Structure 1
């Protein structure tokens, strides 16, 4: 199998459906960043031990979901039915809720780190946020699958929650940001809380 085609030698690439665009377009940047995130998740999977086999399997499933997101972002509206549907958002919200219940309540912002896998999950969280910003920019230029945007927004919360669970399960104390006051109030209803950078 020949891996190179030479079709992209002049800075262009083809979308699903045959349309040619520049490789530095917002659309290509959007699904390219999803690919970057997928690669990072693959590395995280390689670093997870047997004691966290269920999380490893869950992340492998997520890699397939990210591939679907990339496919939808590389598909101009109307070319074919989108792969990512609302059930994927429902699934990730359920996972976030479950992980949020497992880790201990916090009152301060967390400095990314702790267990090495938790640190990598925080890296995935920040790449996810960058991906989301690019998707928002793309949505201002053309029609994209809105469910992908919602899913990617939830995904950063998922990585945050999962990083906390990894630290909790491995008995690693989370590093807190010590130069600010209390920002989370676990005993209050969510709608009564001040908005934080983790609420978006």
Structure 2
């Protein structure tokens, strides 16, 4: 068995999955329709979405004044790249079934704790919310919301895996989706500095204009 985290892709077409099964890192085979494989596929999807975000935000930097601690500088490309790397760390962990008395390195819970601290630092830079915000705005704002919701889907799939998993994985995904919600709001606030757009929020149980006009011809 290859060491977890070491990958050798000398052959792409191996035909080993033609019968609907996939190898895990311990050389066991599982159905491609299993929850574990579906979760792995969605985590890879998150990585691709992060790639779109990197393309859109290349060289973008944000400088956010913090209430009591100076300024926070966000390099969006570097930020997204770090999360993209960690998606593969997560995938490697989920691809390695937990065995009794194992000694291999697992995805660390400290990663989730780090994101929790980042959220606590960044949230005070935003106005308090009084309703759900509608995912609208620039492409980078929409990409942030897209990434957030896909992370949430991946988290629910990981929770549905019947076998034992590293609890740090679900904790990290939960916190990461929270982070991208906060980042989406920050990006929207930054965009509003140069536009006249307002943040649109959910208005419960109201009548809303459809924007449709039917003009009859005589």
Q: 2:53·2:143 contact (CA, 8 Å) conserved in 1? A: yes
Distance 1:145 1:174 in 2: 38
For the pair 1:120 / 2:120, whether they are aligned, the reply is no
Q: Which moved more, 1:27-36 or 1:167-176?
A: 167-176
Q: Which moved more, 1:71-80 or 1:103-112?
A: 71-80
Residue deviations 1:10-46 (CA, integer Å, cap 9, x gap): 1111000100111111111111111111111111111
Runs of 4+ in 1 over 6 A off after TM superposition: none
**Counterpart of 1:44 in 2: which secondary structure?**
helix
Q: What TM-score comes out, normalization by structure 1 length?
A: 0.83
Q: Using the TM superposition, give the Cα deviation of residue 50 of structure 1 relative to its aligned residue in structure 2, in angstroms.
A: 2.5
Distance 1:9 1:83 in 2: 30
For the pair 1:179 / 2:204, whether they are aligned, the reply is yes
Distance 1:80 1:25 in 2: 26
Structure 1 stretches of 5 or more lacking a match?
Answer: 182-200
**Counterpart of 2:15 in 1: which secondary structure?**
coil
Distance 2:106 2:54 in 1: 24
- The counterpart of 2:16, out of the listed 1, 4, 7, is 7
Q: Using the TM superposition, give the Cα deviation of residue 87 of structure 1 relative to its aligned residue in structure 2, in angstroms.
A: 1.3
Q: Using the TM superposition, give the Cα deviation of residue 80 of structure 1 relative to its aligned residue in structure 2, in angstroms.
A: 5.4
- In the alignment, what sits opposite 2:170? 149
- In the alignment, what sits opposite 1:26? 35
- In the alignment, what sits opposite 2:66? none
Q: 2:126·2:186 contact (CA, 8 Å) conserved in 1? A: yes
- In the alignment, what sits opposite 1:103? 126
**Counterpart of 1:176 in 2: which secondary structure?**
coil
How big is the alpha-carbon RMSD for the aligned residues of Structure 1 and Structure 2?
1.8
Residue deviations 1:108-156 (CA, integer Å, cap 9, x gap): 1101122221111111111111111101100xx1100000010001111
- 1 or 2, which has the higher strand percentage? 2
**Counterpart of 1:170 in 2: which secondary structure?**
helix
**Counterpart of 1:9 in 2: which secondary structure?**
coil
- How many residues are paired up? 179
- The counterpart of 1:63, out of the listed 80, 84, 102, is 84
Q: Using the TM superposition, give the Cα deviation of residue 49 of structure 1 relative to its aligned residue in structure 2, in angstroms.
A: 4.3
Residue deviations 1:144-174 (CA, integer Å, cap 9, x gap): 0000010001111011000001111122532
Distance 1:180 1:98, change over 3 A: farther
Distance 2:50 2:60 in 1: 18
Q: Using the TM superposition, give the Cα deviation of residue 180 of structure 1 relative to its aligned residue in structure 2, in angstroms.
A: 6.0
Structure 2 stretches of 5 or more lacking a match?
Answer: 1-9, 62-73, 207-218
Larger Rg: 2
- In the alignment, what sits opposite 1:186? none
